[in-house]
Chain A
């Protein structure tokens, strides 16, 4: 093994040596500059701009005492091509190559300035794009927010119902709640939305897109929150229920006054998680004819082929999730205030 490895090493080093040698030889050769320029011109007129740049870059920097004109010409032509390719960084770098050798070259200086100008107008174009997309996106975002808020209102109530059903001693209710969780946690939300919006009409039940979306999201998140709430209720010390009962409270009173209020703090982190996921899951309802943030961004992107729309949508989602995270942290702190000594 060792022998073969060192054998390979030897072959590689030999090849390297040869490569370096030929490199020096090539440098020593005088390049036929005229033919290079001609070749580049041909490629450029054929529309092969990349090829033209690759040809021009072969023009070497002048040796000391040599005429620098061909080098400067080649680089400026390169910079122009790069500029037309919108490769502003590369064009700038090429101009700087010239300025490095000839700091006073006015052509390179001027071109550099105009690249800078172009850069600024690009920012302007970005701002223009933003102004163009934002109204549409914000309208979509408003719908997303509405969906999120509706689901946030429905799912904790649904979740609480499912949780209480799961821990009740009334068998049919327990079974029903188990079934709901099994069904809605076990199938994709996308499928559920499709089923409600496209599937149910076949059975004669038709919903408007918004209603279908809220039903789908509401049921799905109720199922998830149901398990979270059940866990939180069951994690409250059993003695609390006994103490409440010993005072003479009914099961309902004990739950409402004693047990459930003690779950708020421990509910906040997982529920916050779910709601953050919810904000992003609303994007799925764009598939059932809902025009919300994702759908708006998609439309803008497809109309203008402009990724600014997607970037802006991402930023709006981030703003939503950030604000909600912040709010949940505050609520969690307040909910647990009694634990602070």
Chain B
């Protein structure tokens, strides 16, 4: 099978409801290997929910998730979707890295132990092998000198870079970023942005939910504008930011940001 032509991730008709509210409403999306997608949109538009659904942190009510061509994660019983066995879900998550707005580093572990945790516990690698990977990833995000400290001593930007290293240590095929710079002080955004940029340059496939237009402008292959649970527009950055684009709501949203 030739996997090169096959999309890495394919979402078909993803729907997620919270009681009355439909947070994600029949979204379709194809992510090809090496692609960088940026999803923007007003808060409450379902961007984060969609991203979390890809990682099964949100259980969808309807739709199909295909990863590397296989339909994954859910079993259909009596027309309702049921999450697959834990083992299957964990196996899928292990191939998808996720970075959160609030970092969620493990506070009781040193920076090194944080990054080692995935290879060690999930992939059952030995201490030495896990440490080797962790050091490599910490080097990548430029925090080798912080390996022995606890997260409490780090700045927000450093924490987020450790979180990126922690996700990378699993050698994921896809990286999901859920507003990676939204919780940072403005002067710390740059270092995290640069780290993600460098990762993009390495060819990592990534989906980024953000309010930071720099991501959309500088590293997106496609920009998706989401509103009220649906994709309004899916464009290249050049088209997206050009005034030719005839969408009032996007222009209003962008104007509010600038």
Neighbouring B residues of A251 by C-beta, 8 Å: 86
Neighbouring A residues of B94 by C-beta, 8 Å: 247-248
Neighbouring B residues of A240 by C-beta, 8 Å: 104, 106
At the interface, yes or no: A155 with Cβ under 8 Å from chain B?
no
At the interface, yes or no: A39 with Cβ under 8 Å from chain B?
no
Neighbouring A residues of B107 by C-beta, 8 Å: 262, 338-339
Contact A262 B108 (CB under 8 A): yes
Task: State the CA gap A340–B152 with chains docked (Å).
Answer: 8
Q: How many A-B contacts if CB must be within 8 Å?
A: 73
At the interface, yes or no: A261 with Cβ under 8 Å from chain B?
yes
Contact B91 A248 (CB under 8 A): yes
Contact B93 A248 (CB under 8 A): yes
At the interface, yes or no: A99 with Cβ under 8 Å from chain B?
no
At the interface, yes or no: A257 with Cβ under 8 Å from chain B?
yes
Neighbouring B residues of A245 by C-beta, 8 Å: 57, 90, 93
Contact B153 A341 (CB under 8 A): yes
Q: Mark B68-102, 1 if CB is under 8 A from A, else 0.
A: 00000000000000000011001101111110101
| A247: nearest chain-B partner, CB-CB | B118
Contact B108 A247 (CB under 8 A): no
Contact A249 B152 (CB under 8 A): no
At the interface, yes or no: B170 with Cβ under 8 Å from chain A?
yes
At the interface, yes or no: B131 with Cβ under 8 Å from chain A?
no
At the interface, yes or no: A135 with Cβ under 8 Å from chain B?
no
Task: State the CA gap A261–B109 with chains docked (Å).
Answer: 10
Contact A338 B108 (CB under 8 A): yes
- Our pick among B86, B106, B108 for the contact of A243 (Cβ within 8 Å) is B106
Task: State the CA gap A251–B153 with chains docked (Å).
Answer: 28
- Give the number of residues in A that approach B within 8 Å (Cβ atoms): 22
Contacts A247-B94, A248-B94, A248-B122; A242 near B152 (Cβ below 8 A): no
Q: Which of B55, B96, B108 counts the most chain A CB atoms within 10 A?
A: B108
At the interface, yes or no: A239 with Cβ under 8 Å from chain B?
yes
At the interface, yes or no: B150 with Cβ under 8 Å from chain A?
yes
Contact A338 B122 (CB under 8 A): no
Task: State the CA gap A250–B118 with chains docked (Å).
Answer: 11
Chain B contacts with A in 110-126, Cβ cutoff 8 A: 117-118, 121-123
- Our pick among A237, A247, A258, A338 for the contact of B93 (Cβ within 8 Å) is A247
Contacts A239-B100, A341-B152, A341-B153; A246 near B93 (Cβ below 8 A): yes
Neighbouring B residues of A206 by C-beta, 8 Å: none
Contact A249 B108 (CB under 8 A): no
| A262: nearest chain-B partner, CB-CB | B108
Contact A253 B104 (CB under 8 A): no
Task: State the CA gap A257–B91 with chains docked (Å).
Answer: 18
Task: State the CA gap A257–B119 with chains docked (Å).
Answer: 13
Contact A248 B57 (CB under 8 A): no
- Our pick among A243, A248, A341 for the contact of B104 (Cβ within 8 Å) is A243
| A251: nearest chain-B partner, CB-CB | B86
Q: Mark A295-312, 1 if CB is under 8 A from B, else 0.
A: 000000000000000000
Neighbouring B residues of A262 by C-beta, 8 Å: 106-108
Q: Which of A247, A250, A258, A261 counts the most chain B CB atoms within 10 A?
A: A247
Contacts A240-B104, A247-B122; A338 near B152 (Cβ below 8 A): yes
Neighbouring B residues of A258 by C-beta, 8 Å: 106, 117
Contact A250 B93 (CB under 8 A): no
Neighbouring A residues of B222 by C-beta, 8 Å: none
Q: How far is the CB of B87 from chain A (nearest CB, A)?
A: 8
At the interface, yes or no: B166 with Cβ under 8 Å from chain A?
yes
Neighbouring B residues of A340 by C-beta, 8 Å: 152
- Our pick among A242, A248, A250, A257 for the contact of B170 (Cβ within 8 Å) is A248
- Our pick among A239, A250, A339 for the contact of B152 (Cβ within 8 Å) is A339
- Known contacts A239-B102, A257-B117; can you find 20 more A-B pairs with CB under 8 A? A239-B104, A240-B104, A242-B104, A246-B55, A246-B57, A246-B98, A247-B167, A247-B170, A248-B90, A248-B91, A248-B93, A248-B95, A250-B87, A250-B90, A253-B121, A261-B108, A262-B106, A262-B107, A338-B108, A338-B109
Give the top 4 A-B pairs by smallest Cβ distance, nearest first: A248-B94, A243-B104, A246-B98, A239-B104
Q: Which residues of A contact B (CB under 8 A)?
A: 237, 239-240, 242-251, 253, 257-258, 261-262, 338-341
Q: List 7 A-B contacts (CB under 8 A).
A: A239-B100, A245-B57, A245-B93, A262-B107, A338-B108, A338-B109, A341-B153
